[in-house]
Structure 1
Amino acid sequence: MDISPKITECEEYKILSTHLANPEKTDAILEQLTTCAKFSLSNDKLESHLLELWNSILHLSSQQPHSSNQQDSMVKLLQALVTDAPSLKDTNGKEVEVDGSKVWRGLPLFGQQARECWNFPDDKKVDTKIRDAWINVNAFVARLTAAAVNEHGGERPGYNALDHSLYGIWSLRNAVEEELENLPGKTTVDASVGAAAVWILYAGRTLKGLSDSDKTYSGKVAKPGFKCKDQEWRGYNKDRWQLWTKELAKAKSLVQDDSIQDLVKQAMEIMKQ
């Protein structure tokens, strides 16, 4: 994961940390974030501000246990940014866009920043700290996706900016469509399988709905992993969901940590429903 620890020094991180301590004061946090955005716009630093804001959110989410109330609070804050925060306007009264998306409705650059930290170091051994951070950030993005897409695979009106279902494919592909035995170290295996499990745990119904509705993506971004290389999958489908169900059960036997084994067990129960 590429999240610099220096992010904890920025103003955006401090604002968000305050929110986690007082999650009921959402309106006040939205006002603070809007004030920061206006200031950065006037100094031609809006993009930098947004990247630091999103990086702060991703870092904080990686440090909060996946089942915690703090993760719920972060999801609700992003939902509020999309639907409740006043749009940012320039001196001419025009809504400001960054990279083709409106601030705040489109959460511009959030997906780009999430992609930057979506580089799990599966080519080397990881420690439990990195393992847990990887599982936590996967759970957070899964929660966002479940807030954006219903159990039938349809978008919830107004929340399309929170849909990162493609990342679910990436995490499940790494865990059950590749050769886990080739990963360097048991903790690395636990991290990969645990990340897949929390996607099912927090967005399983959504992913099943996307599978039933054959959700596809352009190009080869959702291509199958090595064990399924002969398939022509380009997204979610029923056959892929069935394979995930079978292979996740097999992957459980490779997991060492008891708590992650329990996550996988919970995920398997959801997939059987």
Structure 2
Amino acid sequence: MDISSDITKCETYKILSSYLASPDKTADTLDKFTAQAESSLSDDKLETNLRASWNSILHLASQQSYSSEKQDSLVKLLQALITQAPAPEDSKGKEVEVDGTKVWQGLPLFGQQVRECWNFPDDKEVDTQTRDTWINVNAFVARLTAAAVNEHGGERPGYNALDFSLYGIWSLRSAFEEELSNLPGKTTVDASLGAAAVWILYAGPTLKGLSDSEKSFSGKVAKPGFNCKDKEWRGFAKERWQLWVKELAQAEDKVQDGGIKDLVKKAAGAMEQ
């Protein structure tokens, strides 16, 4: 997880922290959030400001328990940004774009920032804080994906910037298609299985719908894990979903931590429904 704690000094971080303390003030927060970012239009620092804003959201999400309603509040704020925030205009009255994407409609650079923080150190045994942070950020991104894609695997209009379904494949692949015994320790195993479990808890119907419709991705980004290397999966598949169901049902005994064991058990029950 590459999210610097220095982001806590950012003004946007302070705005968002206040919002989580009073999540009913979405409209007020939206005004402050957009004003803070757009204040940098005149000095050509909008891109820098946007990256700081997205990192603030990701850092706050990673610090909230995977079961916290505060994560839902952050999802709600991003949805409001897309649908309610007025598009900023430049000096010529043209809607501002960053990296070819409209502000705020397309959440420019948000996807890049999510990708940059998606680096779990599975080459060494992690501590419990790193484990919990990884599970929390997976839960948040799963919530975003469920907001973007319905239970039939169809995109909800306007919310494509929140679709991180590929990341769901990555987490489920790591937990259920690779050899867990190759991981360096039990806490790292717990992190992998816990991350997969929250995807099922918060985006299970979405992932099932994508599996039924067999959504694929270009290239090999969604290729199968080592234990399934004979498969030709390039995305979601009914057969792949059934493997995940089977593996999750057997995962509880592989978990060390009692809380994560309960999480995995709960996810297994949800997956069977």
Give TM-score, length-normalised by structure 2: 0.98
In the alignment, which residue of structure 2 is the partner of 1:260?
260
CA-to-aligned-CA distance 1:140-195 (integer Å, 9 cap, x gap): 00000001100000011111111110110010011111111111111100000000
In the alignment, which residue of structure 2 is the partner of 1:59?
59
In the alignment, which residue of structure 2 is the partner of 1:244?
244
Give the Cα separation in 1 of the matches to 2:219 and 2:97: 26
In the alignment, which residue of structure 2 is the partner of 1:157?
157
Aligned runs of 1:23-42 on 2, under 5 Å? 23-42=23-42
Q: In structure 2, what residue type is equivalent to 1:133?
A: T
Q: Report the identity percentage.
A: 74
**Alignment RMSD (CA, Å):** 0.9
1:17 equivalent in alignment to 2:17: yes
Aligned runs of 1:1-273 on 2, under 5 Å? 1-273=1-273
Give TM-score, length-normalised by structure 1: 0.98
1:254 CA displacement: 1.1
Q: In structure 1, what residue type is equivalent to 2:254?
A: L
Q: What 5-or-longer segments of structure 1 have no aligned partner?
A: none
1:14 CA displacement: 0.8
1:251 CA displacement: 2.7
Q: In structure 2, what residue type is equivalent to 1:115?
A: R
Q: In structure 2, what residue type is equivalent to 1:105?
A: Q
Q: In structure 1, what residue type is equivalent to 2:260?
A: I
Give the Cα separation in 2 of the matches to 1:171 and 1:88: 36
CA-to-aligned-CA distance 1:57-104 (integer Å, 9 cap, x gap): 111000001111211111100110111111121111111111121111
Q: What 5-or-longer segments of structure 2 have no aligned partner?
A: none
Give the Cα separation in 2 of the matches to 1:263 and 1:34: 36
Q: In structure 2, what residue type is equivalent to 1:119?
A: N
Give the Cα separation in 2 of the matches to 1:230 and 1:89: 52
1:222 counterpart SS class: coil
Give the Cα separation in 2 of the matches to 1:67 and 1:36: 29
CA-to-aligned-CA distance 1:106-156 (integer Å, 9 cap, x gap): 011111000011000000111111111100000000000001100000011
1:15 CA displacement: 1.0
The runs of at least 4 aligned residues of structure 1 exceeding 6 Å deviation read none
Q: Number of aligned residue pairs: give it.
A: 273
